Structure 1
Amino acid sequence: MGENMHYYTIEGHNLAEDTIKKSRFIINCYHVENQYEVEKYLKNIYKEHYKATHNTFAYILGEEKNIQKYSDDGEPSGTAGKPILEAINQRELSNVLVVVTRYFGGIKLGGGGLIRAYNGSACLGLKSASFIRMQYSALIEISFEYTYLGKIKAFLDKEYKLKDTIIYDDKVHVKIFIPAEESENLIRNLVELTNDNIHVSIISEEYIKLSYKE
């Protein structure tokens, strides 16, 4: 894994529309996880808007944004796909596909006008999308005697706001997601809190979705 412990993306699918000098711009923004999903959504767009003048797009994949591609789909080079890509990068997003479909309205926009139209359309679509933060997290399992329940629960409630699961058995078993970079510190604090009378293990590490508002 790279150095990125979190990244921002959008949730699901968002649709927006704008009219610029009689041209109709339809903006579809998608959360995508891989190239297959990108191609699937593009295929659907081409099928739905096969009569469109242009179906331009851009997308970024990977928590480190290592895949960035775009298409002008017949518009002058650099006037459509690249401005859409810049709109995604302006918001520091990844795993996002933005498709801007244009139905020509009879008035030419010129190079600068096209750049503004496509960038503005992409920004419009992303502005109304739901943003989420993907946090690289560790799933921690903690087992301890009931004697320490009050202390540990108070500590976890204070330090970590992610939803946890508690099972009351012969011992207390707690599962909690925390930012992966904090796992060593958590283990050290729990050991000190219980005088080493605790079992802590890291079950898995993965990206999990957190709500995010600008």
Structure 2
Amino acid sequence: MKEYRTLTADGMAEEEIKKSRFICHLKRVASEEEARDFINAIKKEHYRATHNCSAFILGENMEIKRSSDDGEPSGTAGVPMLTVLENNQLTNVAAVVTRYFGGVKLGAGGLIRAYAGAVAHAVSEIGIVEVKEQQGIAITMNYSQYQEFANWRTTHALEEYDTEFLADIRTMIFTDKKETQDIIDSLTEFYHGKIQVEKADFRIVEIPVH
């Protein structure tokens, strides 16, 4: 699979700009149908709102992009929202910004800043993850060797998973495929070749982007 970036989770954030309420809902989506269902659900929930503008991006290569101004002046809402998603390199994400008009007109520039800002604020609040496929490495060692394992892991910023304490200790780590051999070589050198190390299955991981 190709690596891509998306939201940490679904969520929302709200801002008030010149007495208008701007509520941004963000959702991870896997298809255009799911994105449109989400947009319609927000529209139904906020049917009294002045506008429910939207944008979404789909595909590991960000190949599907759609946006809607929902009655705002052309180009002042949907495209600025989409641009924020693009600038953050996000995909499989849908955004809806609901506006409750507060009586003060913002002008074209003000609307662009408000809608883009609402999405940027929500993305910042929720967070971003990088979705990638990593290679598993299965390690078998004795108990005295395991006492040193945490120090080695800390050096390489790796976590351990599925650890079993039996006659020997069996545990798993995961790393980017291109780094797998270097990690195995490091382990072998650290333990002078006296532990058992073998490649295992791949898995999908989500790594926070700071």
Q: How does 1:69-148 map to 2 (within 5 A)?
A: 69-144=66-141, 148=145
| Match status 1:175 vs 2:133 | no
Quickly say closer, same or farther: Cα 1:179–1:197, change in 2 above 3 A. Answer: same
User: Is the 8 Å Cα contact of residues 12 and 25 (structure 2) preserved in structure 1?
Assistant: yes
Which residue identity does 1:60 align to in structure 2?
I
| Rounded Cα–Cα distance in structure 2 between residues aligned with 1:124 and 1:195 | 50
TM-score, normalised with respect to structure 1: 0.79
Correspondence for 1:200 among 190, 198, 201: 198
Quickly say closer, same or farther: Cα 1:50–1:8, change in 2 above 3 A. Answer: closer
**1:59, CA displacement in angstroms?**
1.9
> SS of the counterpart of 1:128?
helix
| Rounded Cα–Cα distance in structure 2 between residues aligned with 1:34 and 1:138 | 27
Quote the residue 1:58 is aligned against.
55
> SS of the counterpart of 1:76?
coil
Quote the residue 1:186 is aligned against.
183
Which range moves more in the overlay, 80-89 or 180-189?
Answer: 180-189
5+ residue gaps, structure 2: none
User: Is the 8 Å Cα contact of residues 141 and 173 (structure 1) preserved in structure 2?
Assistant: yes
Quote the residue 1:7 is aligned against.
5
**1:167, CA displacement in angstroms?**
1.1
Correspondence for 2:21 among 18, 21, 24: 24
The aligned length equals 209
Quickly say closer, same or farther: Cα 1:66–1:162, change in 2 above 3 A. Answer: farther
User: Is the 8 Å Cα contact of residues 164 and 176 (structure 1) preserved in structure 2?
Assistant: yes
Quickly say closer, same or farther: Cα 1:114–1:198, change in 2 above 3 A. Answer: same
Quote the residue 2:45 is aligned against.
48
User: Is the 8 Å Cα contact of residues 28 and 99 (structure 1) preserved in structure 2?
Assistant: yes
| Rounded Cα–Cα distance in structure 2 between residues aligned with 1:34 and 1:176 | 32
TM-score, normalised with respect to structure 2: 0.80
Quickly say closer, same or farther: Cα 1:158–1:173, change in 2 above 3 A. Answer: same
User: Is the 8 Å Cα contact of residues 77 and 116 (structure 2) preserved in structure 1?
Assistant: yes
Quickly say closer, same or farther: Cα 1:152–1:25, change in 2 above 3 A. Answer: closer
Which residue identity does 2:7 align to in structure 1?
T
Which range moves more in the overlay, 6-15 or 167-176?
Answer: 6-15
User: Is the 8 Å Cα contact of residues 152 and 190 (structure 1) preserved in structure 2?
Assistant: no
**1:173, CA displacement in angstroms?**
1.0
| Rounded Cα–Cα distance in structure 1 between residues aligned with 2:104 and 2:95 | 24
| Rounded Cα–Cα distance in structure 2 between residues aligned with 1:132 and 1:16 | 22
User: Is the 8 Å Cα contact of residues 142 and 168 (structure 2) preserved in structure 1?
Assistant: yes
Q: Over aligned residue pairs, what C-alpha RMSD do you find?
A: 2.9
> SS of the counterpart of 1:127?
helix
Quickly say closer, same or farther: Cα 1:196–1:211, change in 2 above 3 A. Answer: same
